[in-house]
Amino acid sequence: MDDLDPFEPGTHTFSGVVKAWGMNSAELITDSGLALFLSTQGQPQVPVGARITVVTRRYRPCYLVVKVASAG
């Protein structure tokens, strides 16, 4: 894996019901009750209420530095 790859290695599969689906994002309520917020850019529109399975890749954790101060 390249250090610049914005995704963690591997995939995750979830099944559930679509709560919301837009051009760039969606919300899926999984069978276990977990609410997932998804990036859907480039994926076909899915109707709200549809039961689907998605294969996902997780973005790497990243922090935006907004301030730097001396620790000493």
Total of domains in the chain: 1
CATH of the domain at 18: 2.40.50
CA distance 43 to 41: 6
CA distance 34 to 28: 8
Closest CA to 7 of 43, 46, 39, 44: 39
Reported as a single tens digit per residue, the pLDDT across 41-61 is 899 999 999 999 999 998 877
Reported as a single tens digit per residue, the pLDDT across 4-37 is 778 888 899 999 999 999 999 999 999 999 999 8
Q: What is the pTM of this model?
A: 0.76
- Domain range for 72: 1-72
